[in-house]
Structure 1
């Protein structure tokens, strides 16, 4: 008897729940039918705003190198040596060293002339009788720099050195063996930062090039905001 009573009670509860759900659905349908929504759009000319010439109908977000390494013309990756943040020692990747521990020492410190980006690269050349190609640093850009024959590239960087130091800036193949463009630059001695500008004209094409900054004599130099852009970049 107990099991039959339990079964009957369960059926009664299920029937009640079913009827309740059906009634709720019907009530909801009636509610939806009776609701009326309206949307008003005022397209009066005096309320309109002029669309800027620089506004394009595309979504843009700085992810996966859409900006840096994408539509931005900058060829140098991590040009401010601050990929690791504002603290030192900072992450200078993808910058790499040309030379060994006996010929060059590279580090970072907070001595930049830029108030909001204080990290700068310190490069100390330890050799007076350096290799013929010099020692220094290089940057491969974003998966290699696309350098094209005959085109001009504008190099801009900030530097300082306690004593005058001569360096060479060059665009080379990914292994550094083929030179596409090269120029000598001089950093005068002193405690102040200076801005250096140099045009490099490519004498060849290489889609995986790199930028090299080298020296052949002993000395210390600080570098920051090293930029390389094609001269025909939109401004």
Structure 2
């Protein structure tokens, strides 16, 4: 099967520009980062989008969309000239804005006006978007920090490959952990653990490290290599060896 050469060896950087402004301190409890993407493609390009445990608010074409966490990869077709401004909320950080369990919007995309009242920012830039969010800031919620802190623990500790291990780290029960993740993060703790452990695989590939797939599967807590490859394909849309060609 042939591949679009624009996918390979970082060639996409000739067609896209990315920036990741940081939020102001007063919004940092809720917002992890902003992301600004522009592109210029003479021919349509199939952009692979891999998931993270973040809800996104995106502004494009005079509209805005809230995207709940997706439990697998997505393909976005980019063509012509265009751009998107996005807000990536911290894990748990969108719950106070939504006013409902974040799991209710998992794998869903909805018009931002279903969540945010009033006019959308114009122009769409960091200052205008921050003013938009400030005007709608909810009351502080200690569970936001709790959820974000536990997700950070997963990201920082490669040895966490099971929910029971995470519950011990967080000094809570598995049941309470699952309730917190469904309500505030929007997806299960098991999925978040798997996402970060597989992300470490992509980082190794990016560094050019030799791949011992069977050894990696064991290290990540999989029963065998086949289960590891299946999960990788579900998350990233292609096998580990195929994905490595992108890098």
* Interval of TM-score (by shorter of Structure 1 and Structure 2): under 0.3
Indicate the structure (1 or 2) with the bigger Cα radius of gyration: 1
Higher helix share: 2
Q: TM-score, normalised by structure 2?
A: 0.26
Q: TM-score, normalised by structure 1?
A: 0.27
Higher strand share: 1
